[in-house]
Amino acid sequence: MISDSTQKPLACWPGTELYDGEVIPCLTVIFHTTGCTWNRCRMCGYKFERTRITDRGEKICALLSQLAWLVAHHPLESFRMVKIFTSGSFFDEDEVPHEAREAIAEAFQGKIVVAESRTEFIHPDIITPFKEQIDDAAGTSALYVAMGLETTNDFIREKCIDKGHTFADFIEAVKNARQAGAGVKTYLMLKPLFLTEREALADMKRSIAEAGPYSDIISMNLCTVQRRTEVERYWKQGAYRPPYLWSAVDILLSADYFVQSDPVGGGKIRGPHNCGACDREFVAAISEYSLSGNREILRNVMESSCACKKEWEHVLEHEEPWCMPLTR
């Protein structure tokens, strides 16, 4: 469900998540807000999904309407987890005034709530009240603050993504989240602009190892080419190729931590892809692994005999910054 209205969420959908060894029903919602205050990341298409509302009272009204719509269309008692996104940061007071956040907390009381935000908005005085509001007497609730760290390498984050925060900022935000009693979900990005496949693979492996100690949940996003982004401009010029699904599986298999990944756009030309013939099998394996943690599933596809494995290995070995991408 995609909506342009400010009276309905931008999108919401039911799904499942692996949590504490159990597959649980999960509702994902993207609230339609005034959007990201940073607004600069090179791969991000969400930054265009902003309402034109400037009045604080109207922002609250719009969010309350969206919440009412959500509650009316999705029986919340069916979901144990709710993942909250906005077109920016859920804990940005300017984007989501606390009156709206309080109503959302009340609606999701007792749930496992995962809410995404940039690092600069993770302060105990914002997180603590929200955490207390979702807590219920049964003790079934939990809060995870989700942050897009993308990579632990500050140079890559600045030059290839333009994210506007450092690894040290992230660590400070983790400290603040924990002080407020919240857990941390870390998003990492495989293959931002300007990296070869080999560099991207190495960057992700290092980032998982370095972000692991600060994270309760790690999720690897596989870069997709979103419309009207800088990534799209380079892609149209033939200067960018999304990552191979081979790389994604190789990373998940070798990580010391369990890493989730939702291969959005997998197998499509704008998304992470292999040769076309084996993509479906890889996408299914990554999705299944994210819900089971069973590495056997990954080993099976890694050992598959598709001829494009040779192509991927060739790219890993020979792609250089001055001759990339070697394939489309």
Footprint of ligand SF4 on 140-159 (CB under 6 A): 148
In the stretch 254-293, what mask flags binding to ligand SF4 with x, by CB under 6 A? ----------------------------------------
Residue 118 binds ligand SF4 (CB under 6 A)? yes
Q: Around Cβ 184, how many Cβ atoms within 10 Å?
A: 22
Q: 18 contacts which partner out of Zn ion, ligand SF4, none, CB within 5 to 8 A by kind?
A: none
Write out the two tokens for 70. 């959500």
Choose, by CB under 6 A, the member of 36, 184, 223, 301 that binds ligand SF4: 36
**Interface stretch with Zn ion, choices 90-98, 151-159, 278-286, 320-328 (CB under 5 A):** 278-286
d(CA 183, CA 174): 8
Choose, by CB under 6 A, the member of 9, 17, 26, 47 that binds ligand SF4: 47
Write out the two tokens for 38. 């940073």
Q: 88 contacts which partner out of ligand SF4, Zn ion, none, CB within 5 to 8 A by kind?
A: ligand SF4
Residue with tokens 């370095």: 210
Write out the two tokens for 175. 């400290």
Shortest distance in whole angstroms from residue 318 CB to Zn ion: 18
Helices (H), 153-196: 154-156, 167-179
Cis peptide before 325, with omega less than 30 degrees from 0?
yes
Tell me the CB-side half-sphere exposure of residue 200, using CA atoms within 13 A. Answer: 34
Shortest distance in whole angstroms from residue 85 CB to ligand SF4: 9
Q: Around Cβ 167, how many Cβ atoms within 10 Å?
A: 18
Q: 60 contacts which partner out of Zn ion, ligand SF4, none, CB within 5 to 8 A by kind?
A: none
Choose, by CB under 5 A, the member of 201, 217, 278, 316 that binds Zn ion: 278
- Between helix 245-254 and helix 197-211 the angle, nearest 10°, is 30
Write out the two tokens for 96. 């989501």
* Residues making contact with Zn ion (CB under 5 A): 274-275, 277-278, 306, 308
Binding-site ranges for ligand SF4 (CB under 6 A): 36, 38-41, 44, 46-47, 88, 118, 148
